[in-house]
């Protein structure tokens, strides 16, 4: 990787020293002598690393403003702040804004080069992790044989061929982004960008900038998510978190098929397929005044609803096998042999859904236990705080034996039914009951049968 470093300092001697030092060390460089030049260079192309003087020509802390500007564009860019007027408050302020290091003038050249080397290593590691995560995520399949997952696979096949806007509903960690990626991958836009905008993670004042981009006074342009996704797909994740004022502007874009950048005068036309996702019930959000009903109807031309993992327990054994193989291949380690019918796993309250299950299996894989007993202990240790049996035991201490037994049977049989996707014959065989006896037991406990 050829690393490019942006040097920003209003002192020409220091600029030249830094420039020669870094070029001799094998780095490419760009230089800026003041705030506006630096802003122009940053907007033209984000550097791999930046070295910025804290005090330039605009004000006492304009270097910190440049630091914040870089971080708003790419939080992973390492920025080294240098100053000849150091104090503790300034150092703390720069680190709070995300500076990689804070260096006082006059600086030791060897020490500075060490900081730059560490910054590059840090950047490379983050880039490798991003690449790994993207490859890993894009290679995941939608695993399961529950009715819910089977229906969603069929929906993906059908709607991928259309240009319809889609709303994906489901709890956190259930696979909403994966579904959106599958739709994009199967669509005619599959060789175009897939851009994600997370409505829950944006600064309140940054929504318009992130969506529409901005035209600077110096003529440079920062592109927003809509333009980045041109001819491709834009996923707005957690769309329920977008403020009402921005919702109205998104609605206007959907109606007019055009928008203006911040500080821009000309209309921008883009061809984007919009997919939105939400962990909240948007109809409830409409009732309490947090979401526009007209926008909801524009976004939900087609809806996909993915259920929580607790509602599709029959998928858990398949997911365990799948993630065990996938993770062992990715880490180049021996494949885990996890009991898919482990009660700790099947009875766990999966609040983090598929993501939580994947993380558990990855944790076990990294620890590389060499016996089934050790695997089981790691799983129990990880899940025991929410273990179904412990909760049953705790509740049972305060009620009569008959009621405790009924509660246990109800919880147990409900879980077994879900595990076998409502199949009475398979459930009866597993729990050791006659089919007719199980029917009577379910009716007596008030458990509704399902298909």
* Three-class secondary structure assignment of 113-157: HHHHHHHHHHHHHHHHHHHHHHHHHHHCCCCCCCHHHHHHHHHHH
pLDDT category at 401 given cuts 50, 70, 90 is low
Strand partners, 401: none
Give residues with Cβ within 8 angstroms of 142, minimum separation 6: 149, 152, 153, 156, 175, 178, 179, 182
pLDDT at 76 over 90: no
Spatial CB neighbours of 87, under 8 Å, sequence gap ≥ 6 = none
How far is Cα 433 from Cα 425, in angstroms, rounded to an integer? 9
Residue 299 belongs to domain with CATH number: 3.40.50.300
Which residue blocks in 160-264 are alpha helix, DSSP H?
176-186, 207-212, 225-228, 244-256
Residue 115 to residues 66, 122, 285, 416, Cα–Cα distance (Å) = 19, 10, 48, 57
Let me know whether 381 and 401 are in one domain: no
Mean pLDDT over all residues of the chain? 84
221: left (phi over 0), alpha (psi -120 to 50) or beta: beta
Q: The domain spanning residue 393 has which CATH number?
A: 1.10.10
Domain shared by 270 and 378, yes or no: no
- The answer, yes or no, to whether residue 393 has pLDDT greater than 70, is no
Please state, as a whole number, how many other Cβ atoms lie within 10 Å of the Cβ of residue 43. Answer: 17
| pLDDT at position 234 over 90 | yes
CATH for 44: 3.40.50.2300
Residue ending a domain, choose from 307, 339, 373: 307
Instruction: Give the separation between CA 138 and CA 132, rounded to whole angstroms.
Output: 10
Burial class (CB in 10 A: 0-12, 13-18, 19+), 414: middle
Q: Which among 140-144, 183-187, 359-363, 428-432 has the top mean pLDDT?
A: 183-187
**Does residue 110 share a domain with residue 165?**
no
Question: Does residue 225 fall inside a structural domain?
Answer: yes
pLDDT band at 389 (very low <50, low <70, confident <90, very high): very low
Tell me the C-alpha distance between 165 and 156, whole Å. 13
Domain boundary among 101, 132, 163: 132
Q: Please count the CA atoms within 13 angstroms of the CA of 381 that sit on its side-chain side.
A: 9
87 pLDDT more than 70: no
φ and ψ of 269, to 5 deg: -105, 130
Give the H/E segment covering residue 235.
Answer: strand 233-237
Q: Is residue 417 part of a domain?
A: yes
Instruction: Give the pLDDT band of residue 138 (cuts 50, 70, 90).
Output: low
Tell whether 178 and 273 lie within a shared domain: yes
pLDDT for 384? 62
**CA 193/CA 231 separation, integer angstroms:** 7
CB 18 within 8 A of CB 42: no
Same domain, 151 and 292: yes
The beta-carbon contacts of 335-338 under 8 Å, at least 24 apart in sequence, are 336/361, 336/364, 336/365, 336/375, 337/372, 337/375, 338/364, 338/375, 338/379
Taking CB atoms within 8 Å and a gap of at least 24, the contacts of 131-137 are 132/330, 136/326, 136/330, 137/177, 137/178, 137/181
Q: Are residues 235 and 97 in the same domain?
A: no
**For range 117-129, the mean pLDDT:** 81
Residue 147 burial (C-beta neighbours within 10 Å; 0-12, 13-18, 19+): middle
How many angstroms separate the Cα of 409 from the Cα of each of 316, 414, 417, 424?
21, 8, 12, 16
Answer yes or no: do 331 and 431 share one domain: no
Q: How high is the pLDDT of residue 386?
A: 47
Residue 450 lies in a domain: no
Please tell me the least confidently modeled range out of 327-341, 385-399, 437-451. Answer: 385-399
Residue 59 pLDDT: 66
Domain count, the chain: 4
Range of the domain at 90: 4-132
How would residue 305 be classed by pLDDT, with cut points 50, 70 and 90? Answer: very high
Q: Where does a domain end: 281, 307, 333? A: 307
Tens digit of pLDDT for each residue in 153-185? 999 999 999 999 999 999 999 999 999 999 999
pTM of the model: 0.61
Based on the domain organization, do 435 and 351 belong to the same domain? no
Which residues are registered as beta bridge partners of 273?
Answer: 233
- Alpha-carbon span 152 to 170, nearest angstrom: 12
Domain identity same for 55 and 103: yes
Domain assignment of residue 104, yes or no = yes
Over range 241-270, report the average pLDDT: 90
pLDDT > 70 in the chain, percent: 88
Residue 451, in any domain of the structure: no
Q: Looking at the structure, tell me whether residues 269 and 362 fall in a common domain.
A: no
Judged by phi (left if over 0) then psi (alpha if -120 to 50, else beta), residue 317 lies in alpha
Q: Does residue 138 lie within any of the structural domains? A: no
Which stretch of DSSP H or E encloses residue 99? Answer: none
Q: What is the mean pLDDT of residues 69-79?
A: 84
């Amino acid at each position: 990787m050829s690393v490019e470093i942006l040097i920003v300092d209003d002192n020409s001697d220091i600029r030249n020293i830094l420039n020669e030092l870094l070029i001799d060390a094998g780095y490419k460089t760009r230089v800026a002598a003041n705030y506006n030049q630096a802003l122009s260079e940053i907007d033209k192309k984000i550097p791999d690393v930046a070295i910025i003087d804290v005090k330039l020509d605009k004000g006492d802390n304009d270097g910190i403003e440049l630091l914040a500007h870089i971080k708003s564009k790419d939080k992973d860019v390492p920025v080294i702040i240098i100053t000849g007027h150091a104090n503790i408050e300034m150092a703390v302020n720069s680190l709070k804004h995300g500076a990689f290091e804070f260096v006082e003038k006059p600086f030791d050249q060897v020490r500075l080069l060490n900081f730059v080397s560490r910054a590059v290593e840090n950047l490379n590691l983050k880039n490798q992790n991003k690449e790994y995560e993207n490859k890993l995520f894009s290679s995941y399949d939608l695993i399961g044989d529950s009715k819910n997952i089977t229906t969603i696979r069929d929906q993906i096949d059908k709607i991928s061929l259309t240009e319809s806007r889609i709303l994906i509903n489901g709890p956190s960690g259930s696979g909403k982004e994966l579904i959106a990626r599958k739709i994009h991958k199967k669509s005619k836009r599959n060789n175009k960008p897939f851009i994600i905008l997370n409505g829950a993670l944006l600064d309140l004042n940054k929504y318009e900038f992130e969506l529409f981009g901005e035209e600077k006074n110096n003529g440079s342009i920062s592109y927003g998510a809509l333009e980045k996704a041109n001819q491709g797909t834009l996923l707005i994740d957690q769309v329920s978190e977008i403020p009402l004022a921005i919702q109205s502007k998104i609605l206007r874009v959907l109606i007019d098929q055009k928008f203006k950048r911040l500080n821009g005068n000309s209309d921008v036309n883009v061809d984007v397929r919009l997919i939105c996702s939400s962990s909240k019930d948007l109809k409830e959000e409409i009732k309490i005044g947090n979401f526009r009903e007209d926008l909801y109807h524009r976004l939900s031309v087609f809806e996909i609803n993915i259920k929580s993992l607790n509602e599709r327990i029959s998928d858990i054994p398949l997911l365990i096998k799948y993630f065990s193989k996938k993770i062992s291949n990715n880490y180049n380690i021996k494949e885990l042999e996890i009991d898919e019918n482990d009660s700790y796993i099947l009875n766990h309250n999966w609040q983090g859904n598929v993501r939580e299950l994947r993380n558990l299996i990855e944790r076990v894989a990294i620890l590389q236990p060499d016996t089934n007993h050790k695997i089981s202990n790691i799983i129990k240790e990880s899940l025991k705080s929410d273990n179904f049996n412990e909760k049953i035991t705790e509740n049972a201490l305060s009620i009569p034996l008959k009621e405790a037994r009924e509660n246990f049977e109800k919880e147990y049989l409900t879980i077994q039914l879900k595990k076998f996707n409502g199949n009475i014959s398979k459930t009866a065989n597993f729990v050791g009951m006659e089919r007719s006896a199980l029917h009577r037991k379910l009716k007596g406990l008030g458990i509704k049968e399902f298909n």
